[in-house]
Amino acid sequence: MQYNTLGNTDLSVSRVCLGTMTFGEQNTQAEGHQQLDYAVSQGINFIDTAELYAIPPCAETYGVTEEIIGHWLQKRGRRDDIILASKMAGPGGDWVSHIRGGGTRFNGTTIETAVDASLKRLKTDYIDLYQLHWPERNTNYFGRLGYQQAADEQNLTPIIDTLRGLKKQVQAGKIRHIGLSNETPWGIMQFITLAKSMDLPLVVSVQNPYSLLNRTYEIGCAEISHRENVGLLAYSPLGFGVLTGKYLDQQPENARLTRWPNYSRYSNPQAIEATRRYVELARRFQLDPAQMALAFVNSRPFLTANIIGATSMEQLRNNIASEKLILTKEILSEIELIHQSIPNPAP
C-alpha cells in the first residue's frame, strides 16, 4: 500500500481510503465491521464517514454509519492506528430537513454541536480530519453546472467565522485538521487565503468527485492542490459503480442504481457511451474495468487518497487490489482519446 502525506500535516494516509456510506443501509453493522477489518489488514489506515450517512440520507439512518464505526473502534481498541475523517452536513432542502431543520449554518455554535455529536457516535475523543460536506453558499456541486447567485447571501456565515469556529475545535483537541468537500476553486482559495492571513487552520484536503466520467477537478482545482499542498480525496471514483460496467444494458438486482434510480448523475446517454468505451478498453487489455478506473484515479499527481466503497467483500477485495495496478502509457493514451471524444460527461 502506498501512503501519502495529508496536506501540510505529519499524517501519512493510505492511498486507498475506505468510504463507509453504505454502512447502516446497504450493509449491516456486522458487514461494516468485516469490511473495516479487511481494509486494515490490507494496509488501509484512512477511514471516511459523515454525520449525513447512511446513504440515501433520511432521518431513520442519520448518524448510523458513525455509530457502526464507533462500535468497531471500541471493539478494536486501537484508535491511534486509524486516520479518521468525518463531515458536517450543510444546508439544503427536504433531503436534509432532518438535520438541524435543513438550515445549517457553518458558525461556531453549530460546528461545536455537530462535532460533539459525531464524537459521541464515533466513541472517540478526536477526529483527525473534519470536513464541511458541501458549501453553505449556493454554488456548483453535486453535479450542478451554471453558477447562479442566491438572493439571500447576506445571511451566509462569513468564511472567517467558519474558520474561527473550526479553530476553536482544534484548540479544544476535538479535531486535528480541517478539510473541504464539494468545493469550487474560489471557495478553496478563500479558505486558504483567510487562514494564512489570520493565523487560522489551513485546509489540508478537498473531497470532490473525480473519475473517468468526471475530471472537472483538473480544470480549476488541480493547480491549487499542487501549489497549496491541498490534495484531492476523490469520491465516486467508479461513478456510483457505473464504471464497473454492471449497468450496461441491464439493471442488477439490489444494486444501488437499481434501488435508487434517482441517483442518475452518471447515467445520462453521454456517460453511458463513455462508460461503454472505457469498459471495452479495459477488456481489450484484459483488465477488470473497475480496477482500471480506480488505477487511473490512483495515478493522478494531485491525489492524496482514492475513496472506495463496496457492498460486498468481493467488491472490496477487487477494489483494494487495484492499488497494485499500474496502467501502461498505451492504456493511458487510449483513456485520453476517449476523454477528448466525450469529456466529462457526468460532472
Dihedral sign for Cα 27, 28, 31, 37, please.
positive
Catalytic residues: 53
Burial class (CB in 10 A: 0-12, 13-18, 19+), 51: buried
CB 228 within 8 A of CB 201: no
Residues paired with 181 in a beta bridge: 207
User: Residue 92's CB: how many other CB atoms inside 10 A?
Assistant: 17
Grid cell listed for 276: 461503454
| Integer Cα distance of 343 and 194 in angstroms | 34
Query: Is the peptide bond preceding residue 201 cis, with omega within 30 degrees of 0?
Result: no
What dihedral angle (degrees, nearest 10) is formed by the CA atoms of 141, 132, 234, 58? -70
Q: Is 219 helix (H, G, I), strand (E, B) or coil?
A: helix
What is the DSSP secondary structure assignment for residue 192, as one 8-state letter? H
| Integer Cα distance of 248 and 267 in angstroms | 10
Alpha helix (H) ranges present in 2-86?
29-41, 64-76
Pick left, alpha or beta for residue 9 (phi over 0 → left; psi -120 to 50 → alpha; otherwise beta): beta
Name 172's Cβ contacts closer than 8 Å, sequence gap at least 6.
Answer: none
